[in-house]
A and B are shown apart, each in its own frame.
Chain A
Amino acid sequence: MNIRKLMPEELGEALALVWDVFSQFDAPDMEPQGIMVFRDFTQLNSIEKLVDSKVLTFTGAFAGGKLLGVLAMRGAAHISLLFVDPVYHRRGVARALFEQAKKETSGEVHRGITVNSSPYGVSFYRRLGFVPLEAEKEVNGMRITPMQFDLGSNQADG
């Protein structure tokens, strides 16, 4: 498996994978409003601009040239999207993507990597070592659990 940054021309394929997996595993837990919010967020023209301005960074997992999974980091230490082709679930693809992201996030600067997990993702993130910061809540039609992976650095100063 090859983990690398996606090229701009690969974003369309990545977002198609994201939408397929989301529709199958996450949308059933959401209100129609939440599905629309997610759909709007993952439009190619918007995402291209966010990637171009370095707000989002996309990493892909490949095998034999096939895209197996996608991770988008937002800013420095937040997971915006993490989706793996269901055929390759439970084979370490998402973990490999996360390990790469972790490597690129400085533990000296960041206390943790955060994610707002869908109900489906919570057990996966727990296995990676994330802990829920709050109970599940509904935000704009999405059921999310704010979670954080502790990078074990700075203690609170305030």
Chain B
Amino acid sequence: MLDKSIPYKNIIMLRPAERAEAVRPMEPAERAEAVRPTDPAERQDPTECAESTERQCTLPLPPLPDGFSFRLYVPGDAKHWSEIETSVLEFDNVQAAEKYFSQDFLPHEAALRERMVFVVNKNGEYVATATAWWNDYKGRHQASLHWVSVRPEFQGLGLGGAVVSKALSLFPTFEPGLDVYLHTQTWSHKAVRLYSKLGFHICRTDTLGHKNNDYVEAMGILKKVLDASVYDNLEHAAVD
């Protein structure tokens, strides 16, 4: 959920290609292992690997909690996407979200089938989404992690990390070798922490497409809302 109690400032983050290549989809056997109920103590922290500085570190997709599964876009999912995005206050109403979807996503429906990920619960409800997208602006082509959202009532279950990791695992196939950018903002400071754990760095000057980069002002706001150690890590890891 967006924290609209603080000023809105743009944040641009980047995940270098080296890291992007290191995410791999889980093998079927591994996946079966991952869904096996485990003692919480032996369950691996899904972000542990991403925080390592080892070059060859691979990041297995964090297991989804029991009862949840991944699903790729199929025609008709515009409604589900719009409902999720509206639930986290990205749009004022579902109609506005659907209008955006029709204009920006629908012209690329073939790509959506490969790149837009949903998490669905056992009742068939669509509860989270992320998209492994791209941005072409003034002759520059960038890979971009786009529209990451988890319905508020399903937050805190690890679905955000799972759906982002799933989307990241698609980039080496569809945008091979490219650094992955994302645009977020101070209202999503909880997500900024998650992205950082998954290998993203805040950019000081670079940007994604036409977006403004409000690094200095955004960091001033993050400093007030984040723990000092979290903030320091973000600042020290920031790139140009």
Measured CB to CB, the residues of A under 8 A from B are 33, 37, 40-41, 43, 45-46, 49-50, 52-56, 74-78, 80-81, 106, 109-112, 114, 116, 133-134, 139-142, 144, 146, 148, 154, 156, 158
Contact = CB atoms under 8 A, between A and B. Distances in A.
Contact of A158 (B108, B176, B179, B207): B108
Given A41-B238, A76-B178, A133 B204 contact: no
B215 A75 contact: no
B118 interface: no
A76 B139 contact: no
A154 B138 CA distance: 16
A103 to B, nearest CB: 15
A112 B140 contact: yes
Contacts of B179: 74-78
A31 to B, nearest CB: 10
B205 A158 contact: no
Contact of A56 (B207, B236, B239): B239
22 contacts: A37-B204, A46-B237, A50-B201, A52-B53, A53-B53, A55-B201, A74-B14, A74-B179, A75-B16, A76-B177, A76-B179, A109-B177, A109-B178, A111-B141, A133-B139, A139-B207, A139-B215, A140-B205, A140-B214, A146-B140, A158-B108, A158-B111
B240 interface: yes
A24 B206 CA distance: 23
B55 interface: yes
B140 A75 contact: no
Contacts of A148: 139-140
A41 B239 contact: yes
B49 interface: no
A139 B176 contact: no
Interface string B185-212: 0000000000000000100111100001
Contact of A37 (B140, B205, B206): B205
Given A33-B216, A43-B236, 18 more contacts: A40-B204, A40-B235, A41-B239, A46-B237, A49-B236, A74-B16, A74-B179, A78-B206, A80-B240, A109-B178, A112-B139, A139-B213, A139-B215, A140-B204, A140-B205, A141-B216, A148-B139, A158-B136
Given A49-B53, A109-B178, A114 B17 contact: no
Chain B interface SS verdict (over half): loop
A20 B236 CA distance: 22
Most A C-beta atoms less than 10 A away, residue of B141, B207, B215 = B141
Q: What are the 4 closest A-B residue pairs judged by CB atoms, nearest first?
A: A109-B177, A75-B16, A75-B179, A76-B17
Contacts of B138: 133-134, 146
Contacts of B55: 53-54
B18 interface: yes
B139 A54 contact: no
A148 to B, nearest CB: 6
Nearest to B138: A133
B213 A140 contact: yes
Contact of B177 (A110, A141, A158): A110
Contact of B17 (A50, A75, A146, A154): A75
A111 B239 CA distance: 21
A54 B16 contact: yes
A123 B178 CA distance: 27
A140 B238 CA distance: 14
Given A37-B216, A116-B205, A158-B108, A133 B14 contact: no
Contacts of B237: 46, 49-50
A106 B206 CA distance: 21
Contacts of A76: 16-18, 177-179
